[in-house]
Copies of this chain bind each other. A is one copy, B any other.
Amino acid sequence: MAQDKSGKGFVIWIIGLASAGKSTLARLVEQRLLNGGHPAVLLEPSSGEELKRRLMPDLGFDRDGKIQITRRLGYVARLITQCGGVAVVPWITPEREPLEEVRREIGRFVEVYVRCPLDICKERDHRGIYVRAETEGHPVPGVTEPFEPPVNPEVAVDSTRQTPEEEVSVIMERLKALGYLDS
């Protein structure tokens, strides 16, 4: 595949446990970028989202399914960067290896880790995932499956100490410092 000719495209990949606050943050980041005139596209693969239904109806949320979701998302994100867009990807991303492949392929890649302790995530449980882990044995990273947090993310935020707006500001400053956005 041809590389991004404009050299402006990049990926903001937002990682964290279920209910850590990835989705809210991703939407704010997308909006902030659009307001600044940057061509951002949200790629959200959660259950019920259009992207999940239309691009990956064959993939489940078991461990292997999540690995395939990471890879397929990575490919779509690369297409977005190829035409100078910014792909904003909120995805739990429980395993490192498929993400490292995606990073290497894309190159211009910003990993954002949304820290939040598991017990707080369980209290929030926005999608009822933790309840279903207990009642139905639903596979959940950090509970019934591994969750490998980012080792050296470009940005780390903490959703128990920062508001989403504060998190966005940290990310935007970091994007400028890294040269992805003009300061």
Contact = CB atoms under 8 A, between A and B. Distances in A.
A161 interface: no
A5 B31 CA distance: 11
* Range for the number of chain A residues in contact with chain B: 20 to 34
Number of identical monomers bound together in the oligomeric complex: 2
Contacts of A1: 50
A51 B40 CA distance: 22
A83 B5 contact: no
Contacts of A39: 5-6, 82-84
A30 B40 CA distance: 22
Interface in A29-55: 30, 34, 39-43, 50-51, 54-55
Contact of A58 (B58, B79, B80, B86): B58
